[in-house]
Amino acid sequence: MTVVTKQIDMAASDVADAPMELTDGFHLVIDALKLNGITTIYGVPGIPITDLGRMAQAEGMRVLSFRHEQNAGNAAAIAGFLTKKPGICLTVSAPGFLNGLTALANATTNCFPMILISGSSEREIVDLQQGDYEEMDQLAIAKPLCKAAFRVLHACDIGIGIARAIRAAVSGRPGGVYLDLPAKLFSQVIDAEAGAKSLVKVIDAAPAQLPAPSSIARALDELRNAKRPTIILGKGAAYAQADELVRELVERSGIPYVPMSMAKGLLPDTHPLSAGAARSTALKDSDVVLLVGARLNWLLSHGKGKTWGAPGSKRFIQIDIEPREMDSNVEIVAPVVGDIGSCVAALLDGIREEWSGAPAEWVETIRAKREANIAKMAPKLARNAAPMDFHSALGALRTVIKERPDALLVNEGANTLDLARGIIDMYQPRKRLDVGTWGVMGIGMGFAVAAAVETGKPVLAIEGDSAFGFSGMEVETICRYKLPVCIVIFNNNGIYRGTDTDPTGRDPATTVFVADSRYDRMMEAFGGVGAQVFTPEELKRAVDEAMDSGRPTLINAMIDPAAGSESGNIGSLNPQSVIKRKA
Ligand code: ADP
Ligand code: MG
């Protein structure tokens, strides 16, 4: 229990020699977080939360200061994904809050539990719009972008406020929560004993949600009648940390599975039942599809269209903790609502009782397709090309992860993302962290910092040169905290490609950057290691050195500026004009 050492003078009528111990808003926030096992804060200091960060550090919490709130917010969000505890992001009022908001919204979209705690200005002045320092109605602005938003006005309510924020973030479908703490709250002084009593230790913050037995029976019927079943594992399955159960479901049923990007490694990508390299066939030609913590959103073509073969050819079973996810895009014939651990365990009970074995012909079709695709890709990956293209560079990094399967891989970009996702095999759960549901750029350095801090494992961040730019200043943060992060920049001089020109000849094209930029020198500026490489062999050697030393490293990997394709794999989402005017 923390107390303010200062003691107040008691009124004459009080017992003069029994001074009250006091606490305040600052200490209560810290005590409430610690009581709930929250040990790390990601943030940017400033008014009115400077002292909160300082004091949290003094009280033994890990407080990591960033250069921009968006990166701190992304760090908190991915910490939530990795640990199943809400990641905490701490920001200053108005502009700092807004900077953190993109990360909060992204966390909510991705179902990552996170709490954005932001200081705010004086309610009385803000509500009368009298022009306070950093005046903004932050609660109202945050509300539509997160699962829940709360404001605490009295120090005695801090315990309840933080308990509510934690529950909202991790229970049911996880997501982002906003907690508004006005400046005045922090210095409110109350009796320490009353303060201690006001704190709440949240019991069973994310209770198991058991599926209805009838929903399990329905799902089992569908699976038993399937001739060409496919399992799709999503990042909800990775988040759930029910790794052994998920593995047993796949292996006992013998059903081929397709991992979504951040579910890669839940079972090793080299698993005999992996249909990752036969994704098109597994989706198009299947008859029954079991979704485990994956939504039928744009990433799965909404469950319809040519990706999924003939209309009406699919029957979908879906496991999800959120009942309203069912039928969101197509009919779900067997909805199973509950947490993934409980649902998969219940399915397994049924499979152990009665299962006629894997559909051999279908498993063989998938296997053959997978082997053929892998063989087709192999020579492209093995080429020691100079200049490097995406495939040859990624071939080298694929070997790095094969040799260091416990490293965390952070990945963003266009071509750099789409190709790395397919090329780099993952071997362990929750090792691949990327742009997620929105395909957002800018998660790179925030994710890399939190991955290193939360796991203590080496981190390899594979970044397009454009993507890196959104959070690149955090290389200073990485150096400051001496984190074992190796950043590889795929430098092709621009967005998609570095070869565009301005038809008028006046300016650089909108998609190009300074040619042959030396990003490696940014890392050197802060005491880290920089390297520039031109071949896959050099790249592999430089990454190995970085991962062995654990020193912050940035490798500028020079890629042929003509190698990329527009928008990577999602060019179809990028409208292009067919009308050409004369300049
Ligand atoms: P992906 O992008 O990998 O396909 P999504 O983010 O679309 O994954 O889907 C994840 C789904 O997992 C969400 O619908 C979410 O409600 C669900 N989910 C998250 N955690 C759990 C859990 N513990 N149990 C069940 N479902 C969960
Ligand atoms: Mg580029």
Question: pLDDT tens digits, residue range 297-347?
Answer: 999 999 999 999 999 999 999 999 999 999 999 999 999 999 999 999 999
241 shares a domain with 119: no
Q: Which domain holds residue 452?
A: 383-571
CB 76 within 8 A of CB 89: yes
CATH number of the domain residue 360 falls in: 3.40.50.1220
Per-residue pLDDT reduced to its tens digit, 354-379: 999 889 999 999 999 999 999 999 99
Q: Is the pLDDT of residue 125 over 80?
A: yes
Mean pLDDT of 497-522: 96
pLDDT of residue 570: 86
pLDDT of residue 2: 46
d(CA 260, CA 257): 10
**End-of-domain residue from the set 322, 340, 368:** 368
Mean pLDDT of 516-522: 98
Residue 378 lies in a domain: no
pLDDT of residue 571: 85
CA 209 to ligand 1: nearest atom: 24
pLDDT of residue 357: 85
CA 436 to ligand 1: nearest atom: 2
Reported confidence tier of residue 577, pLDDT bands at 50, 70, 90: confident
pLDDT of residue 568: 84
Residue 145 DSSP class:
G
**End-of-domain residue from the set 323, 339, 368:** 368
With a pLDDT cut of 70, the percent of the chain lying above it is: 97
| 239, 426, 430, best to mutate for ligand 1 pocket (most atoms within 8 Å of CB) | 239
* 145 alpha carbon – ligand 2 mean position (Å): 30
Q: Looking at the 3D structure of the chain, how many domains does it have?
A: 3
HEC assignment per residue over 155-222: HHHHHHHHHHHHHHHHCCCCCEEEEEEEHHHHHCEEEHHHHHHHCCCCCCCCCCCCCCHHHHHHHHHH
Reported confidence tier of residue 528, pLDDT bands at 50, 70, 90: very high
d(CA 283, CA 275): 10
CA 236 to ligand 1: nearest atom: 12
pLDDT of residue 236: 98
Q: Is the pLDDT of residue 6 over 50?
A: no
User: What is the pTM for the complete model shown?
Assistant: 0.96
- How many Å is the Cα radius of gyration of the chain? 26
* 225 alpha carbon – ligand 1 mean position (Å): 26
293 shares a domain with 156: no
* 155 alpha carbon – ligand 2 mean position (Å): 49
CA 232 to ligand 1: nearest atom: 4
Q: Is the pLDDT of residue 16 over 60?
A: no
The type of residue at 391 is H
pLDDT of residue 17: 61
Q: Could you say which ligand is closest to the alpha carbon of residue 209?
A: 1
Mean pLDDT of 484-498: 96
* 173 alpha carbon – ligand 1 mean position (Å): 7
Reported confidence tier of residue 583, pLDDT bands at 50, 70, 90: low
CA 297 to ligand 1: nearest atom: 7
CA 260 to ligand 1: nearest atom: 3
| CA contacts within 13 A on the Cβ side of 100 | 38
Q: Is the pLDDT of residue 15 over 80?
A: no
Q: Could you say which ligand is closest to the alpha carbon of residue 436?
A: 1
Q: Could you say which ligand is closest to the alpha carbon of residue 332?
A: 1
* 498 alpha carbon – ligand 2 mean position (Å): 7
Mean pLDDT of 125-134: 94
Residue 576 lies in a domain: no
Residue 377 lies in a domain: no
Residue 567 CA: distances (Å) to CA of 94, 162, 383, 392? 34, 41, 24, 19
With a pLDDT cut of 90, the percent of the chain lying above it is: 92
pLDDT of residue 22: 98
* 326 alpha carbon – ligand 1 mean position (Å): 12
Q: Whose CA is nearest to atom 20 of ligand 1?
A: 236
Question: Residue 213: is the preceding peptide bond cis (ω within 30°)?
Answer: no
Question: Residue 359: is the preceding peptide bond cis (ω within 30°)?
Answer: no
Per-residue pLDDT reduced to its tens digit, 40-86: 999 999 999 999 999 999 999 999 999 999 999 999 999 999 999 99
| 204, 258, 297, 340, best to mutate for ligand 1 pocket (most atoms within 8 Å of CB) | 340
pLDDT of residue 567: 82
174 shares a domain with 42: yes
CA 262 to ligand 1: nearest atom: 3
pLDDT of residue 120: 97
Burial of 75 (0-12, 13-18, 19+ CB in 10 A): buried
| 235, 249, 307, 411, best to mutate for ligand 1 pocket (most atoms within 8 Å of CB) | 235
Residues with CB under 6 A from ligand 1: 110-111, 173-174, 234-236, 239-240, 260, 262-263, 293-295, 297, 299, 320-322, 325, 339-340, 437
Per-residue pLDDT reduced to its tens digit, 393-415: 999 999 999 999 999 999 999 99
* 199 alpha carbon – ligand 1 mean position (Å): 31
21 shares a domain with 56: yes
pLDDT of residue 12: 45
Quote the crossing angle between the two packed helices 158-170 and 25-35, to the nearest 10°: 40
232 shares a domain with 148: no
Mean pLDDT of 527-551: 98
d(CA 302, CA 296): 5
Q: Whose CA is nearest to atom 23 of ligand 1?
A: 240
* 388 alpha carbon – ligand 2 mean position (Å): 13
246 shares a domain with 337: yes
d(CA 326, CA 295): 9
Residue 205 lies in a domain: no
* 293 alpha carbon – ligand 1 mean position (Å): 4
pLDDT of residue 372: 97
Q: Whose CA is nearest to atom 9 of ligand 1?
A: 294
Per-residue pLDDT reduced to its tens digit, 220-259: 999 999 999 999 999 999 999 999 999 999 999 999 999 9
Per-residue pLDDT reduced to its tens digit, 546-559: 999 999 999 999 99
Total residue length of the chain: 583
d(CA 532, CA 541): 12
Structure tokens at 159: 């315990």
Residue 9 lies in a domain: yes
| 279, 296, 322, best to mutate for ligand 1 pocket (most atoms within 8 Å of CB) | 322
pLDDT of residue 129: 95
Residue 374 lies in a domain: no
SS3 assignment, position 252: helix
Q: Is the pLDDT of residue 3 over 60?
A: no
Mean pLDDT of 175-194: 98
* 416 alpha carbon – ligand 2 mean position (Å): 8
413 shares a domain with 299: no
217 shares a domain with 148: no
Residue 396 lies in a domain: yes
218 shares a domain with 181: no
150 shares a domain with 280: no
Residue 294 CA: distances (Å) to CA of 188, 289, 290, 559? 45, 11, 10, 34
Q: What are the DSSP calls for 509-578, one per residue?
A: -TTB-STT--THHHHHHTT-EEEEE-SHHHHHHHHHHHHHHT--EEEEEEB-TT---TTGGGGGGS----
**End-of-domain residue from the set 368, 393, 418:** 368
Q: Is the pLDDT of residue 4 over 60?
A: no
Residue 373 lies in a domain: no
Residue 314 CA: distances (Å) to CA of 233, 302, 309? 17, 13, 8
Residue 334 CA: distances (Å) to CA of 110, 286, 346, 353? 24, 16, 14, 20
Reported confidence tier of residue 1, pLDDT bands at 50, 70, 90: very low
CB 66 within 8 A of CB 477: yes
Q: Could you say which ligand is closest to the alpha carbon of residue 497?
A: 2
pLDDT of residue 8: 45
Per the prediction, the chain carries an average pLDDT of 95
496 shares a domain with 431: yes
Per-residue pLDDT reduced to its tens digit, 418-476: 999 999 999 999 999 999 999 999 999 999 999 999 999 999 999 999 999 999 999 99
387 shares a domain with 319: no
pLDDT of residue 18: 64
d(CA 502, CA 451): 40
CATH number of the domain residue 135 falls in: 3.40.50.970
* 467 alpha carbon – ligand 2 mean position (Å): 8
